Structure 1
Amino acid sequence: MSEKIAVLGAGSWGSILANLLDENGHDVSLWSYKQDQVDELNQHHTNTHYIKDFTYSETLVAYSDLKAALKDATTVLFVVPTKAVRSVASQTKRALAELHTKPALIHASKGIEQDTYKRVSEILAEEIPAESRQSITVLSGPSHAEDVAKKDITLVTAASTDLSAAEHVQKLFMNRYFRVYTNTDVIGVEIAAALKNIIALGTGALHGLGYGDNAKAALMTRGLAEISRLGASFGANPLTFIGLAGVGDIIVTGTSHNSRNWRAGDELGKGQSLEEVIDTMGMVIEGVATTKSAYELAKQRGVDMPITTAIYQVLYEGKDIREAISDLMQREGRSEF
């Protein structure tokens, strides 16, 4: 059954998800605050800053006017950087009040808000109250926009405390190359989605330094262990972290050139400063801000996260990467579990 869906955020992931939904037969409006990007999408059906050599559906319409993009939408998908979620959600609330609509909300953003340590679903719930929305569902998993654009096989999870809402999202997105599973562990899915970017920075740095597959596998495995510990402290289901949102996303983000977090880590490993990496990347590197939030959360909750701590020290305290690795390797021996 076709729906009117508004996708907020026209970066690589937002625009490709919008295109997928359009191809699935839905009436999709794509919002960006950048007028030149909107013009390019509508006139040339391209989005070259984010996805090169890809042509979007001619029926996908982009808007720079948020209220126009939201008009008649029964579902709203947020795919903006975490630092922009609260602002865009606040604007969305005002527009929905003027439009007298109450859509279901989905988000595919991966991060934790600075200072408040809020997950994205918590920000949405605060900014768009229950009387202005239906459910809130998280869409996450091992999924690079570049591969979805090629119609490569992709599996993700839709998580909501309301299982029927997750099943609704499952039906919206499912097709022959994009498969969606349901989950009710919103906490676990969001924490895994955010913190895997920290580990991707680390595996990228190992690559940049010239380390091999053994080191990268070790970092991903032990990184997942500390992500699981933090998630469990919030009541997350431990099984979530061995699923698509956990180990699946760590594998794809921690090993691929398509991952901007991996690429950022790679450049750091090759000797660039964090400022140089941020300046040249041209896109948001979610893992940088998330490292700070996770480090502070771990201290606050008394959770042992040595890898996150080491990456924090490199990013924010200027510690030499090789010294950080040496210190990790020389920690006192302990049981794996």
Structure 2
Amino acid sequence: MNKNPKIAVFGGGSWATAIVKMLCENLEQVGWYMRNQSAIDYIKENEHNPNYISSAEFNVNQLNLSSDINKMVKYADILIFAIPSAFVKAELDKIKVDLSSKIVFSAIKGIIPESGLIVGEHFNKKLNIPIENIGVITGPCHAEEVAMERLSYLTIACQDEAKAKILGDCISSNYIKTKISDDIIGTEYAAMLKNIYAIAAGIAHGLGYGDNFQSVLMSNSIREMKRFIKKIHKMKRNINNSAYLGDLLVTGYSIFSRNRMFGNMIGKGYTVKSAMMEMSMIAEGYYAAKSAYLLNEKNNVNTPIINAVYQILYENKNPKTVFKNLTELID
């Protein structure tokens, strides 16, 4: 593979914007697909994204911006998708270009609702992209801290270590450190599950539970995550590594966590609809909770925290009652 690949990012949100910023530290040109042409026009004129982490400034001469997804797929050797999982299929359906020779990395923390698959599996099974050409970019890393150039760590997972290393080199900088992994399934499921646990942490905070309970909740969450991932994809992995435990902790505790914020609003009495309307960004954990719950109906893993979040968000159960019951199921 070319050690100086053309790379394009697909998505116009905060995480897509952060990834473009990271790539611009090392590449002369970065492709950037956004479906919103007015946002592209704004970036070209004002050198920052009008809607997300607007503090991140760009040299527009480095950006190859387009609202034509096929043009951007043709341009790039490596495609990085950072589109919310609920909208991925609609965007993929627009692609008419052959993807078989492309390297695809998912920076999406969720499951494709239409297929019930994590993004990497969806690309492999539905779009016939070879598994060795699929990778995952995972945290712990918040887009807002990337914009502030605060030291952050990313895990790049791919079965083909050389491809992961090439992308890692393109993303690394004085404020971004990267680590390579071959656990593409486990890291992607962890990135999806931690959003559910962050919602749980937010609900607990909104209900008035303190730090003592939060620590027990997080401890149980990482063990529940381990059971869930092990059942789906058994391999040797250390669940205490940054891609699993680290990502869970930052998403569960950070003020930048939209999933924790969403859960906090639910705990304070907002309906799901009203909480979503008030937030300007998507809480991936909302969609992930349903997908994980339905997936676990087949696998039958003990997941009291996922079950509790699902009951509150999709069965309209009372958060106070559900969490009182949950306190008896965790230790």
Aligned-partner Cα distance in 1 for 2:178–2:256: 21
Letter paired with 2:232 = F
Aligned-partner Cα distance in 1 for 2:110–2:234: 16
Aligned-partner Cα distance in 1 for 2:189–2:140: 14
TM-superposition CA deviations, 1:215-260 (whole Å, max 9, x none): 1111111011111111001124463421122111111100112111
Counting aligned pairs with the same residue, the percent is 31
Q: 1:190 aligns with which of 164, 173, 188?
A: 188
Counterpart residue number, 1:174: 172
Counterpart residue number, 1:319: 317
Further displaced range: 49-58 or 202-211: 49-58
The 5-angstrom pairing of residues 196-211 of structure 1 reads 196-211=194-209
Q: CA deviation at 1:144?
A: 0.5
The 5-angstrom pairing of residues 1-337 of structure 1 reads 2-58=4-60, 59-92=62-95, 94-96=96-98, 102-114=101-113, 116-130=115-129, 135-237=133-235, 239-331=237-329
TM-superposition CA deviations, 1:40-86 (whole Å, max 9, x none): 11111121321133322322232111233234312111111112223
Give 3-state SS (helix, strand or coil) of 1:290's partner: helix
Structure 1 residue runs without a partner (length 5+): none
Aligned-partner Cα distance in 2 for 1:66–1:294: 30
Give 3-state SS (helix, strand or coil) of 1:10's partner: coil
Give the root-mean-square deviation of aligned CA atoms: 2.0
| C-alpha contact 1:3 1:27 (8 A) present in aligned 2 | no
Aligned-partner Cα distance in 2 for 1:230–1:197: 14
Q: CA deviation at 1:156?
A: 1.3
Give 3-state SS (helix, strand or coil) of 2:252's partner: helix
Structure 2 residue runs without a partner (length 5+): none
Cα 1:237–1:156 shift into 2, 3 Å:
farther
| C-alpha contact 2:155 2:179 (8 A) present in aligned 1 | yes
| C-alpha contact 1:141 1:245 (8 A) present in aligned 2 | yes
Further displaced range: 191-200 or 297-306: 297-306
TM-score for both structures, normalised by structure 2: 0.93
TM-score for both structures, normalised by structure 1: 0.91
Q: CA deviation at 1:148?
A: 0.7
Give 3-state SS (helix, strand or coil) of 2:239's partner: helix
Q: CA deviation at 1:134?
A: 7.1
